[in-house]
Chains A and B, each alone.
Chain A
Amino acid sequence: MAFTVLYLAAIVLVPLLTLPVKSFSDGWGFFWSTVSDPRVMASYRLTIGASFVAALVNGGLGIIVAWVLVRYDFPGRRLVDAMIDLPFALPTAVAGITLTSLYAPTGWFGQYLAPYGVQAVFSPLGITIALVFIGLPFVVRTLQPVIADLDVELEEVATSLGADRIQLVFRVILPYLYPAWLIGFGMAFARAIGEYGSVVFIAGNMPMKTEIASLLIITKLTQYDYTGAAAVAFVLLVLSFALLLVLNALQGWSAKRLGY
């Protein structure tokens, strides 16, 4: 008990406390001028925007993947199911260099995009691709148990009341999956906001254009601007915590809705 609290405090709480303290060590004015700087604001916009789009892509395709894995049988289904967690297990730096080489103009994928004038690497598109990769398991893994628990009777009742398959999907099944979907979406979004390793290689890191917030923190650190780095990080931290709180509330709401 005492060990638990002490360890938690020493490893997590005290180190995290340094962040707000350091951020405001040069006063509120300095903090504000740092985070409202156009370059910092641009990095926040890019980070949040790309994370949101990536979470949406995962949200849409994640439903299909989860549905297919639970409901249909096809050769290799178990292998596919086991591989869903790959983005959790693969170090982010490995994902980063792999995606960068694949989408480079001469890479396996990039060569088919280049003729259409689509440049994936060193662009917001590349950042989004990397974020889709690392966020892929969240929606699938939160939806799978819920789809597996989906009551067949529910579908039978709706069908016997005259609902066709399309009505059934949009008026019965999707509303039922919605809370779990939102949690998966939120987790993918939150993870993407703080992501660093898989993005730095493919982003190109041009200030104002393809520079994400995590990278900006490192840039400020290498320039010995410790207070500035802390300020940028503090905003990111507050954003993550806000998302964590929303997710916790969602989990409570979802549990109630599903009647646990």
Chain B
Amino acid sequence: MAGHRVSRPIRPGLTEPYAVRVGLIVVALAFLVVFLFVPFVFIFVEALRNGWSAYVGAIESPESLAAIWLTVLVAALSVPANALFGIAAAWAITRFDFRGKRLLTTLIDLPFAVSPVVAGLIFVQLFGRQGWFGAWLSNHDIRVIFALPGIVLATIFVSFPFVARELIAVMEASGREEEEAAGLLGANGWQMFRRVTLPNVKWALISGVILCTARAMGEFGAVSVVSGRIRGETATMPIHVEILYNEYAFQASFAVASLLALVAVFTLVMQTVVARRTRPVVADEALAAELIES
């Protein structure tokens, strides 16, 4: 999944003949140019094709601004919830032994295996008019589906595993010794977490939160099922992009899409930065291991 990054030394010695090397590089680059680079550039070309003022105009339209505001609000509500859960889950899984731990770890990944449309559907079945809680909700005049709560719930579901995954991987690798030492020295649970665990997992947490935010802002399938796609009201940015595109307002659609593409670029850049921050630690450990062995 995203976030895997490897330090890759280029090894001398055995390699393919020059012609084969060039050939493989050309094939790989051609594939990536057609499938990644051109589509990415195309978003901005289309967004700017009627000039800068048309671009700004499309983004500043009341409906676009409403979509941007809603998207930020949804992310601001769902990301902290998942970050909190991620910390709790990683703490429970890596610091305690209990039955069903493997099952819990698998269950955390479950939302990745579920189609976004199915993710939306299950919340409609719970809270929709015909749903399990539908009658109770409508009696109390509470709207979940086709309203903000439904969008937030579906978003929490699809962006659920990111923080937990990143944290579990790092906390598993770092072991329990440091916390145990802190405990012996008289630290309470909160001090242990604040002073020992958090500094160790800081970058993994940041990385998880960034991935979670990107997904939360960009979710389309699940949100289009629960939101009802009411323009200016329950349309998040991806939904607004769809509405504009289906109305043949291509330039405006790509203008809003380009903002999401910028979020994606920011995510990729931050991933690279975080990977570079965490890599030296790993290298040090490898060096230490080698020194011990010799």
Contacts and interface: CB of A to CB of B under 8 A. Distances in A.
A8 B107 contact: yes
Contacts of B238: 91-94, 197
Contacts of B281: none
B254 A237 contact: no
A188 B126 CA distance: 30
A68 B25 contact: yes
Chain B interface size band reads 35 or more
Interface residues of A, number: 87
B121 A233 contact: yes
Contacts, number: 262
A85 B2 contact: yes
A214 B116 CA distance: 8
A89 B268 contact: yes
Interface residue SS majority, chain A:
helix
Contacts of B110: 12, 16, 244
Contacts of A95: 39
Contact of A61 (B4, B27, B156, B253): B27
A73 B43 CA distance: 29
A214 B35 contact: no
Contacts of B10: 70-73
B1 interface: yes
B69 interface: no
A255 interface: no
Nearest to A3: B88
B107 A13 contact: yes
Contact of A83 (B27, B225, B268): B268
Given A98-B42, A133-B35, A196-B115, A155 B107 contact: no
Interface of B: 1-2, 4, 6-11, 13-17, 21, 24-25, 27-29, 31-32, 34-40, 42-43, 46, 85, 88-89, 92-93, 96, 98, 104, 106-111, 113-118, 121-126, 128, 130-132, 153, 156-157, 160, 214, 217-221, 224-225, 237-239, 241-242, 245, 250, 253-254, 257, 260-261, 263-265, 267-269, 271-272
19 contacts: A3-B85, A4-B85, A4-B88, A11-B157, A82-B269, A88-B2, A89-B264, A92-B116, A92-B221, A93-B220, A97-B254, A98-B257, A99-B39, A133-B35, A156-B13, A196-B220, A196-B224, A218-B117, A244-B113
